[in-house]
Structure formats: C-alpha cells, structure tokens
Structure 1
Amino acid sequence: MTAIDRCHAKTREWVCEAVRIIEADANRSADTHLLPFPLPPEWNVRLYLKDESTHPTGSLKHRLARSLFLYALCNGWIVEGTPVIEASSGSTAVSEAYFARLLGLPFIAVMPRTTSAGKVELIERQGGRCHFVDEPSQLYVESHRLAAELGGHFMDQFTHAERATDWRGNNNIAESIFEQMALEPHPEPEWIVVGAGTGGTSATIGRYIRYQRQRTRLAVVDPEHSVFFDAWRDSQPELTSCQGSRIEGIGRPRVEPSFVGQVIDRMIKVPDAASLATIRAVEPVLGRRVGGSTGTNLWGAFQIVAELRAADRAGSVVTLLCDGGDRYANTYYDDGWIAAQGLDLAPDKETVERFLSTGEWPA
C-alpha cells in the first residue's frame, strides 16, 4: 500500500468515527417538547410552542449544526484537524462549536461586533474562538478569507442549510412536530409559524408539508432591516440592505441561498419593538424568559390565532420557542439597552396583553 493509500484509509477511518460520534450524541438526546401555550379553551384555537431551547446547546440551531457537520463530513470537506469557520450572529456558532469540540476540531465564529456578550461567552465555553467584524456585510468575505488562510472549511450555513437537512423526514423538526401533534384535538395544524435566518427551517417545513400532503400552511415572520419579506412580496430576490437585524438569529441583509420562498404561504413583517414587547408580555404567562426570535414568532402566531377566532374557525397553530432569554439579559431584557435603541415597547406590549385577555388583534 502506498503512502497516499494509507493516508486515504486513515482519513476515511477518522470520518467514519466522526459520523459515529455525532450520531451517538443525537442518540443520547431526547426530542424537544411541544408545549401548549395557555389560551382560553373557549377560543377553540390551540397554540403550541416547539421548545428548541432544550437541545444540549440551548437553541433551534443545534439541529442545523448537526446536519451541517454530517453534510460536510460526508462530502469530504472536513477531515481530521480541519479548522471550521462559520459566519454567525451567535446561536449557530454556539452549536457548531459544540460539535467541533466533540470531534477535536478548531472552530472560529465570524460574527458582528454587536453580538450579545452572553452568546460570545457560550461560544468560548464550547472551545470556540470569536472573530469580530464591524459591518455585517463583511461576514462572508472574512469567513472565506479565514478558511483560505488556515486551510479550513467555511461551513456557510446560509448556503447549505436547506440541503443539509433531510426534508422528507429522518427526525427533522417538521416530522417531529406532526408526530407530537398526532393525539391533539386538531392534529393537523392550520398554520406553522417560523422565522427565517438561513431559511433552512422554513424550507424544511414547507417541503415536508407538501411531501406529506398536509393542508397546513406555512407563515414566515421577518424582523426590521431584513429583506426576506420585501423580496418575497415583490419577487425581487436580488434585494439587499446595509443594516443587520437586531433580532439575533433571524432576518438577513440579503436573500440567502437557503431561503426557498416558493414553499411559503404567507409572510408577516414584525417591528423589532413588537418582538421585544412580546417576550416581556409572555414572560409571566410562560413563567420563563425567551429570546427575541421567539417574540417575533409569537407576534405572528397571535395575529393568526386572532384571525381564526374572528372567522369562527377551530384549529391549531404551531410555532417555535427558539432559545431561552438568559442569553439576552444585557440586551432585550435590559431597559437601558432598549432605550439606547430608541425603542418604545409600551404600545406593542399593550397589544399583546389585550390579545391574551380578549383574543382580538388590531385591524
């Protein structure tokens, strides 16, 4: 056997072991809970939260990171010692740092300098390193540069999210939702409501709904300064923005390759003040804090629940609890930070509280 053959055999052995390690980690992990949101039973509309905060790394992005690593390993892009680089505002990087540590690989997160200190700490706790950029538009360029300089692999979640996950099943989030809904009063949801960061989650759910021949419709909520909503509404995928999203994990200044608008039935634009007012309004209801992207999801879900009620239609709505609020103690739950952003949460908080007591939504 030549030296090249031996090297190839060793590489394949390492990759096989890496895949086993990731699959074993998944095998040790239970599925996430589907929690009923406490709405009055006489409304005849049920709302459920898929609680993705219970993953080992605390967010929805754990699923994505696992899929991206398996995809890269099986494509031959990652081998023993490969530095892994990702452009991420936080949660994806936290999860990818976790999997990189499992495999003994160096990990670098390229992220906006404005990313919350809590997420930076979580990445570093997992053994990752944070590399900051001042302009969100430089995330991709800098990630490619680092990968070339270090001989590493740029994971590129924004390109590969929609293809790394098996949308037909294999315990993806859509399959999990429908299995957990099976014994509920309205097992086939009228709507599933999600946000879009990479677009991978909405693509997976939208495809799965069609593949399973469900009547469920998919709504995607989009925060301020993100171009997804306008690009989808106006069929202009080339749209860009020079601003990043304040709601970490969702919203993008460009339409990412993983965003598949054709599987989306409806989009709802959500002001940042509304997202943050919502998480504060629901904290006493849930008995816990949730992140800003969950607030965006709930603002859209509440609006849809109110519309179903107004139409006298019974049914169910499902959305995602993307991560916990402890990561945002110094931002979304800090009154000083809110004031510095020039946001007034009071009117939108009143809208949510009125909905929770009456089931009505402003026209």
Structure 2
Amino acid sequence: MDSRFTHPLLSSFADSLDESLASDADLERGELHPHKPASHPVRRVSALRILCIGLALMVSASLYFAVQFATINVRPCGSTSVNASLPEVRLKRMVLPWFFNWKTAQGVASDAKYLYFSGRNSIRKIRIDRFATTVRNNPSAIPQELVANDYDHLGDISMYNGKIIAPVEDKAWVRPIIVEYDPKNLSAVRSQRVPSQRHLPWAAVKEDVLYSSESPVAREIKRYRWPTLEPLPPIKTNTIRGAQGGEFDTAGSGNLLLSASYADEQGCNMYEYDSKTWKLVQAYSLSTPLKFFELEGLTILPSHLALTANLYDLFQAIIVLDRSES
C-alpha cells in the first residue's frame, strides 16, 4: 500500500482500492475466473471508491479551513462585573483540529511550556508553538487494570504540583476515580476513588482542595481535601447544563472558570466564580460560526485561553484564544 495513506480511515480506503484494482487486472488476464470475461461494473466500483476518497478529503479540507479561520466570540451575558477575567472581545485563533478521531478532544491542561490534551483513553503532550508540535502521546493512558474494571473515559484534566490530575469515569457512571500522571512520560502514577459522585467530568486542584461537579446537570461544586479526598462542604451554584470543564485562572484573577456543552436560557455556556466568595462573577457566551461544536475542557495561560471542542465526537478542534488582545 502507498505509504502516503497514513491515517487509519484513509488506509482502509486505500486497502480496498488496491484490492479492487488488483481484481480488475486479474480479471482482464483471466486468472480469477477464466470462463467469465471481465465486466465493467467492477471498474465502476473502483471508480466509486476513488470518488469516496476524494469526497472525504474535500470535506476534511473544507472543515479544516473553516475551523482554522473561524472567528471566536467571547462575550459577557447575564450580569456583568469589572473583575471578570475575560472582557468582551472578539478573539481569533483556532489551531490543530484532528479529523476522524473521536478519542481526542476531551480536556486540556497547561504549564509554562506545554499543553496536555486528554481523550477518552489518551493523553497528548504538545509544545506551545506555532505548529503545535506533538512531543509525546500516550494512546492508552488508562492503566490496563483499570480498563479491566470498566474504566474507559478521561475528562477535563488539570495540573497541580507538577502532576496531571485526570478524572476518569467507569462505563456505568457509578464509581469515578482520580488518576495522577507524570507529565514527562504521560504514565499513570496513582489512582484514588472519589466518594459520593457518579459523574466526574472535570477536576481542578487549588491550595490542596480538589473541585469538581456532577453532570449532565450541576447545581453545586463538589470539594475534597487533597490528596486524601476527604469530602468538604459543597458550593451552591447556578444550574449548569452539561458541565464539562473547569480550571482556575492561576495566571490572573485566581477565579474558577467552568465550561458547559449546552447554553442556558441566556445563551451562556461558560461561567466564572470568585474563588473567595464563590459568587458568580460573570457568565459568558462562547460561540463560533460552527455552532454544532460541543464545548469541552479549558485551561488558562498568562496570555491565552485554550479550549477543546468536538463535532458529535467525530471532528475535534483545539481552540486557543489570545487574551493579550483584550
């Protein structure tokens, strides 16, 4: 097979194409069925497969450029506050969509040099540069002993004390755990059961307290002493539909930002809470021309806000917004 077809989906198309073309040649030589002449329908099937490959490439290219050059709008909605971390501004930069990979865009974390992306069962380490260079990838990040116990889904990750903090859910959504990873080699260090929660879509740690919430409907923020995970009193919030990601703005206000896959009645799908009073500072509407993208995880850098989004678990996008323009 031609080494140019490196993607699994395109490789599958290419293998079928090679087999079909070989069959045409053998039929013409009379090697497969000596008593049956070659027929044109076989050639038409081969042409159809070529057409399918071409259409798939065209659709991928169209969506790629649509994502790359889309303008992202982050606007306050609902109550406003002068202490908000993200003032009203039109920000533009979307990078690195991964096509035909439904296991990539779940969550994102960052340190001063790298971005870390979690998939359903993967963690990818990317250098923060123009080309978003992949440094390391662990396609099977959930340890096998956990996979054997039906754990199959990583959520929105975060960084704390030099470790990646990853929420991991089981198939039945009854016993989520936290897994710590070494950011150098993306290997699991330890895991621990999170009490009194069924869903664990995101996790963030600040000052030795771990924060998370339930999903698909969250009405409070869960808190646990870190690293023992002793339950602490929860924080009441507004109703959040489809809570997906959470991160503290350690590069700025110190406030907690939460992302949601569904907008509320006012069109808000991102929320900022004061980390001292836990009052809602600001709600935001984050929209793109591609309205069918589902907002997933988020992380905050000194000059950027990075988010993950997906299109029905098929097309993934990593969104990096430049905060320096605000």
**TM-score, reference length from structure 1:** 0.25
More helix by share: 1
Structure 1 or 2, whichever has the larger Rg, is: 2
More strand by share: 2
**TM-score, reference length from structure 2:** 0.27
